[in-house]
Amino acid sequence: MIGAICKGSGKTWASAIAAVLALLPAARAVAAIAAGEPVVNTARATYEMDGASGSVSSNTVSTTVPEVLDLTLLNTALEPLPIEGQDPATFGIPFVLTNTGNGNEAFHVEAAAPRQEVAPTVAIDVDGNGAYDPAVDITLSADQATPILAPGAQLKLLLRFAKLPTSAGSATITARAVTGSGVPGTLFAGAGDSGSDALVGRTHAEATLPIAYQLGSAGPAAQLIKSQMVRAPDGGATPVPGAVITYRLALTAGGDAPLSDAEIVDPIPAGTAFVPGSIQIEDVAASDVADADAAFFDGQAIHIALGEISQPTTRVVTFQVTIL
């Protein structure tokens, strides 16, 4: 479920909001053991001596599972979303934040659109209908975190504009765990659930989501948008040797009929090496070999067989390379 208290902020949300948000579907959490849970083990040995049976127990050892800080962002709208003719009062671009860590965590979410005079905002889509309702939905202020999300829980959000854009462009959503973010393995002592340590996971406890929009109400039959995020060994974004580039591919069916036999082929750039096991389709891991799932890596390019895509659906694929 989704709690009603903002972690680290002390702000209380209305109970009705928490009740609605708790109905949102849960995604698979990365870790199977909950944060703050002890792992306890005691061994026992049995033996025979002088015709008699005996046994002895070892001392008990235990360790506490840290809270792993991880998250993902997913655009659930047609991409690029047409904005011409939209109602400014209710228009919002829907996306979803998922807590993929193993603990209860809140997140700071912010939006940026360099070409807009007024920075866009983020609102919680309380009723989940993909449109903004000022009487129901909640706009997050700059310093306001989301409600606490249980492991695997999802929160539906909306990207909002103070004034509808007058030309095509894009915005960037950034979300970070309230407890902390940074290089995977960074430890925040005692900051996790039940007083456990908190540990930054493989996503750096931070996610970035580019969202494109266009003016026209009718787009091309298909559109493939590629974006990238660079993460250097020191946690920065400089593309130095050893840095990991995460590529995001969004294939949208935007015509009047479904796409069929859709496939994405993306060659690995020169000067980089594919990161094994990094292919994900809609945030679900796919294998690197040609087998029953939709993805494989042939040593030079990744191949993703998406099959039929109905209009107006966007399928998202991500994978990683390392700069040599």
- Domains of the chain in start order, with CATH, are 1-29+41-216 (2.60.40.2550), 218-324 (2.60.40.1170)
Distance between CA atoms of 258 and 309, rounded to whole angstroms?
Answer: 5
Report the share of the chain in percent with pLDDT over 90.
51
Query: What are the pLDDT digits (tens) for 281-307?
Result: 988 999 998 888 889 999 999 999 998
Length of the chain as a residue count: 324
- 224 pLDDT higher than 90: no
Q: What would the pLDDT profile of 131-161 be if each residue is shown by its tens digit?
A: 899 899 999 998 899 999 999 999 999 999 8
Helix (H) or strand (E) holding 309: strand 301-309
Distance CA 206, CA 213 (A): 23
Answer for the pair 297, 274: CB distance below 8 angstroms, yes or no.
yes
CA dihedral sign of residues 35, 232, 206, 266: negative
β-pair partners for 284: 281
User: What is the distance between the alpha carbons of residues 248 and 81, in angstroms, rounded to a whole number?
Assistant: 17
Q: Contact 167/36 with Cβ under 8 angstroms? A: no
The HSE-up count of residue 313 (CA atoms within 13 Å, CB side) is 14
pLDDT in tens, 25-76: 444 434 467 888 889 999 999 999 989 999 999 999 988 889 999 999 988 8
